[in-house]
Amino acid sequence: MKELVFIENGKAVTDSLTVAEVFGKDHDKVVRDIGVQLAKLETAGEMEFSTANFVGSTYDSRGKQYVKWDMTEEAFTLIAMSYTTPEAMKFKVKFIQEFKRMRETLNTILSPSYMIEDPIKRAQKWIEEQTEKKMLEQQVAESKPKVTYYDEILKSTGVVTITQIAKDYGMSGQKLNDLLHDNGVQYKQSGQWLLYHKYQDRGYTKSETQSYRRSSGETGTKLHTKWTQKGRLFIYNLLSKLDIEPLMDREQKKEA
């Protein structure tokens, strides 16, 4: 399962996309539920609560912009009140546990013992450390798959970037990255795309870290990921389910 709670601007939050996925609801329905509660808060004169606990933004899906909401624990609790099935109660408990864990994490990284005086720098330092840790986890996981004859054939054809794969479909690399994110394949952390854990050890990618110099003079690391032919086939199968065909297949249909 994807991360239920994450840190955004120094706060522990979840978002409407995550709530919709976990509770098995259409995202439009969750957005409507949030709209209803925001209207009630406005009527009750609680706009300060709304502003502090709900943050709206947009995301791209298949070239269109859609609304999504980040929510604090208080906001999530308000929205999830009406989700009362036994299965929904289990999910609510998981969310509450994750909010508690993330609060404890924030308390740790914002405490004076974290060795950095500026709390914003402490938070940024923690995020960078977690990103580098996840980058390493992905590289370790990529080395785990057993090599089969099928894998050997795929390896012999080399690796490609996400932009190269995207061109096969007549789209940008950013759009394809967003599609993979929307379908639970990868997530973005500190500006870098990382595979969710269940996909890291399937031989879909080959990654390496590259060092760069930050404006502060410190050395940072960035993950440079390319997709194997096995990964390319995985993307093809995924996009096929979404009725997205490569340009070559579309041309062949026109000629037939």
Is residue 4 within 8 A of residue 95, CB to CB? The reply is yes
Q: Which residue has the higher pLDDT, 2 or 5?
A: 5
Place of tokens 């992905």: 138
Identify which has the larger pLDDT, 167 or 145.
Answer: 167
Tell me, what's the pLDDT at 102?
A: 87
* Range scoring the smallest mean pLDDT among 52-61, 115-124, 159-168: 115-124
Q: CB of 150 within 8 A of CB of 208?
A: no
8 A C-beta contact, residue 118 and residue 125: no
pLDDT score at 149: 37
Q: Which two tokens stand for residue 32?
A: 């409507």
What's the pLDDT score for residue 170? 93
User: For 103-132, how does the pLDDT look when each residue is reduced to its tens digit (9 = 90+)?
Assistant: 888 777 666 555 555 666 666 777 777 877
pLDDT for position 153? 39
- In this prediction, residue 152 has a pLDDT band, given cuts at 50, 70 and 90, of very low
Mean pLDDT of 180-205: 86
Give the Cα separation of 142 and 140 in Å (integer).
5
Query: What is the C-alpha to C-alpha distance for residues 201 and 203, in angstroms, rounded to an integer?
Result: 6
Q: Which of 163-167, 209-213, 219-223 has the highest mean pLDDT?
A: 163-167
pLDDT at site 192: 82
Question: What pLDDT, on the 0 to 100 scale, is given for residue 27?
Answer: 95
Backbone angles phi, psi at 156, to 5 degrees: -65, -15
Question: Is the full-model pTM beyond 0.85?
Answer: no
User: Mean pLDDT lowest for which of 35-44, 53-62, 150-159, 176-185?
Assistant: 150-159
The DSSP call for residue 145 is S
Confidence of residue 196 (pLDDT cuts 50, 70, 90): confident
**Cβ(166)–Cβ(238) under 8 Å?**
no
Amino acid at 244: I
Q: Check if the beta carbon of residue 131 is closer than 8 Å to that of residue 148.
A: no
In 3D, which of 86, 60, 242, 69 has the Cα closest to residue 169?
242
What's residue 235's pLDDT? 93
Answer with the residue of higher pLDDT: 218 or 181: 181
- Specify the pLDDT at position 11: 86
Mean pLDDT of the chain: 83
59-92 pLDDT tens trace: 988 888 999 999 999 999 999 998 888 888 999 9
The span from the CA of 138 to the CA of 146, in Å, is 16
Closest to 205 (Cα-Cα) out of 139, 114, 132, 130: 139
